Amino acid sequence: MAKRACRVLVFSTSPDCVEWEAVQGFLQTKVKKEPRSIEVRYPPELDGRFPGEKPDDPLFVRTQQAGDWETSIYPSFANVDGVVLIGGARTTKIIGLLALGSKTPLITLGGIGGAAHEIWLQLKADRNSTATDDDLNLMASQAWTENSAERFVAALLQQRQRRLQLERQGAVSESERHRRRALTALALLGCGLFLIVLLALVESLHSRVPRWSLWILFGAPAAARASGAAIRVLWDNWQQQGAVPLELRPVAMTVALGFWASGVRAPSLSCRKFGH
């Protein structure tokens, strides 16, 4: 993780916890590390320093939490980009379930056993996670080589990229839905206003020509163009059968455009006919 310029968040300085080993490995890696690369959130009873940590060490940022050890852990999910589970028991299982529920990128060393293995089983059954089959096979491995840590971190960062991509796609899709709703409302409003215009034209000319003739003159072309636009949408849909993703024109806007185009042309032709 130090080689990939990752920051780490740990919750204990006790030699009995895995953080003790993880932070030592992070510090001993011979790469340049950014200041505040290691954040320690701890309750008062677990205050202490890691081996190699200097007083006021710029690599560390320490945040003392109120309450017990678990109180330091669970609220932190709002601030993490990924979780690594190794062995563990009840607390590790809870953290894993929280990561699954929040769709947080997760690496769980299931092949080592403990609660991490239980979370691996849950992750394997969750087909909506960002973990691929290759990730799951890697996590199930019981062998550990000099390249294992690098492969695990790479898989975690790839999950994060996939999650960010899904979030961007979701944001674009939501924005597109809002845009289409707004355009549809505008199209319907335009149709209503255009009907008022046609009504005004009919009323202004009905003294010379019967109303029903004017409605046929103005309305028939508009209805014909609108129906033609609707049929065009169906035709495009039929032509795209089997295409993924299917691109479907907005029906309301397409019909409205056809309605306006014909409605504008019909009054123009009629005005020439009446000598205006």
* Between 120 and 205, residue with greater pLDDT: 120
Most confidently modeled range among 108-122, 176-190, 196-210: 108-122
Helix then strand then coil, % of the chain, to nearest 5: 60, 5, 30
Least confident of 39-43, 133-137, 220-224, 271-275: 271-275
Q: By CB neighbour count within 10 A (0-12 exposed, 13-18 middle, 19+ buried), where does 14 fall? A: middle
Most confidently modeled range among 165-169, 191-195, 213-217: 165-169
Alpha carbon distance 57, 79 (integer Å): 22
* Between 270 and 232, residue with greater pLDDT: 232
**How far is C-alpha 21 from the geometric centre of its chain's CA atoms?**
35
Alpha carbon distance 35, 29 (integer Å): 15
Fold of the domain built from segment(s) 8-168? Rossmann fold (3.40.50)
**Eight-state DSSP code of residue 247:** -
Report the pLDDT value the prediction gives residue 26, as an integer from 0 to 100: 92
pTM of the model: 0.61
pLDDT at 44 over 50: yes
Domain boundaries, the chain: 8-168, 187-273
Confidence of residue 241 (pLDDT cuts 50, 70, 90): low
Taking CA 192 as the corner, what is the angle to CA 187 and CA 196, rounded to the nearest 5 degrees?
A: 140
From first CA to last CA, the distance across the chain in angstroms is 80
pLDDT at 262 over 60: no
Average pLDDT over the chain reads 77
Report the pLDDT value the prediction gives residue 203, as an integer from 0 to 100: 66
* Between 60 and 48, residue with greater pLDDT: 60
Least confident of 131-135, 145-149, 215-219: 215-219
* Residues in Cβ contact with 235 at an 8 Å cutoff, skipping those fewer than 6 apart: none
* Between 265 and 61, residue with greater pLDDT: 61
